[in-house]
Structure 1
Amino acid sequence: MFVGLTGGTGCGKSTALECFSSLGWKTLDADGICYELYGDRNSGVAEAIRRRWGDRVFSGNGDVDRKKVADIVFRSRKERLWLNSLLHPMVLERAVKEARKSKNRNVIFAVPLLFEAKWEKEFDCTVSIWTDRKTQYQRLAKRGWSLEEIERRCKCQITPDEKMELADFAIINNGGIDLLYQQCKILNKDIRKNYGKKQ
């Protein structure tokens, strides 16, 4: 069973993944795979980025500086589309391989741009985690982001409301970890009951 988890920036995807992991799921994270690709010399990602943007987006030790890359792609739709076209196929390929080789047949994959990338058909079902805008912005501000940066990043995604409407299931994450965990437990049972037979 391959489940896609999505949600806006700051809506709680990582925390939800932790909840599902505690419930016996194999978890994968698109952002984590991206970071792996940046550091994997064999992936060709770093070389492509250097050709595109030069040495200015690399740190002193030769690694891709993700913050500098983010500064570029969240200011330019053209550059964002270029990076997505480079990374998305490789991210999906790695995730599918990981899911197939996993001994755990219940796999949940967190993908911030699941619907934007039109990956919904890759999954048995999709889950969107939702947070109201005020709470979302407060969480992102705690990361040290300015209001300008928060708005710039959020505008690069469809809204949490739209993601929730497109998903098969939704989690409301306006409360604390206990409430989130309770919803994940209920959803875990529902998904296993309704989609487990497809394994």
Structure 2
Amino acid sequence: MILGVTGAFGCGKSAVLAAFAAHGWRTADADHLCHELYAEPEGPLARQFAARWGREVLTPEGAVDRRRLGAIVFADRTELEFLTGTLYPELSRKLDGLIADCRRAGEDGAFELPLLYEAGYGDKFDRVAAVWAAPEIRHARLREQRKFSEDEIRLREARQLPADAKLERADFGVINNDGLAELELQIGRLVRLLNGSVR
């Protein structure tokens, strides 16, 4: 089973992925995969970004400087579109390789992509699970744990499908309003369902 995991900013996708890993699933998240792509000195992304914005978007070692890049792309929709148009094909290739590895090994895999639907990646997966949490809970988590301002949260949310729309499109919903223990119980039930052993 190859499962895509998506959801809104701050809904707890990483905790869901950790719960799948605890059940023996292979897991990967888009943020980590993107970090690997950005960290590659003079890699495909570094070369394309430097050609567009100059070498000031690179570290001295030739990797992508994410903070400098963010300052450019989050302030200008055209630049953000260039970033995503450049990043998504590279991310897609990396993801395809991981999925192929899982299938060859006969392993279950859960792959977290916040922009799964926005990037058109839904067809890569056997099923999709959307993680959902009430907006006030998500916002409180983001303010307290990650120190985001309300304006920063809204800016990021504006660049994604609404949380409710992701939940409606997914094959399964994981509701993350009631803490880690309840979340882990839901993932246990979902794993049994996906393995065909739910009574």
Structure 1 match to 2:110: 108
Q: Distance in 1 between matches of 2:124 and 2:73?
A: 26
Mean alpha-carbon deviation: is it higher for 83-92 or for 38-47? 38-47
Considering only aligned residues, what root-mean-square deviation do their CA atoms show, in Å? 1.7
TM-score (norm 2): 0.90
Structure 2 gap ranges (5+): none
Residue 126 of structure 1: which of 125, 128, 135 is its match? 128
Q: Shift of residue 192 of structure 1?
A: 2.0
- In structure 2, the residue matched to 1:164 is 167
Q: Which residue of 2 aligns with 1:27?
A: 27
- Structure 2 distance, partners of 1:193, 1:174, is 26
Asked if residue 6 in structure 1 is aligned to residue 6 in structure 2, the reply is: yes
Instruction: Find the aligned partners of 1:135 and 1:68 in 2 and give their Cα distance.
Output: 30
- Code of the residue aligned with 1:89 in structure 2: it is P
In structure 2, the partner of 1:99 is: 99
Look up the SS of the partner of 1:118 in the other structure: coil
**Structure 1 residues 119, 162: CA separation in 2 closer, same or farther (over 3 Å shift)?**
same
TM-score (norm 1): 0.90
| Alignment of structure 1 residues 56-71 onto 2, 5 Å | 56-59=56-59, 62-71=62-71
The range that moved more, 49-58 or 139-148, is 49-58
Q: For structure 1, list consecutive stretches of 5 or more residues without a partner in the other structure.
A: 195-199
Deviations along 1:142-165, one digit per CA (max 9) or x if unpaired, are 212222111111111011111000
Q: What CA distance in whole angstroms lies between the structure 1 residues aligned with 2:71 and 2:139?
A: 19
The amino acid of 1:58's aligned partner reads L
Instruction: Indicate conservation of the 8 Å contact 2:2/2:125, yes or no.
Output: yes
One-letter amino acid of the counterpart of residue 5, structure 2: L
What CA distance in whole angstroms lies between the structure 1 residues aligned with 2:195 and 2:82? 37
Aligned pair count reads 194
Does the Cα contact within 8 Å between 1:7 and 1:112 map onto a contact in 2?
yes
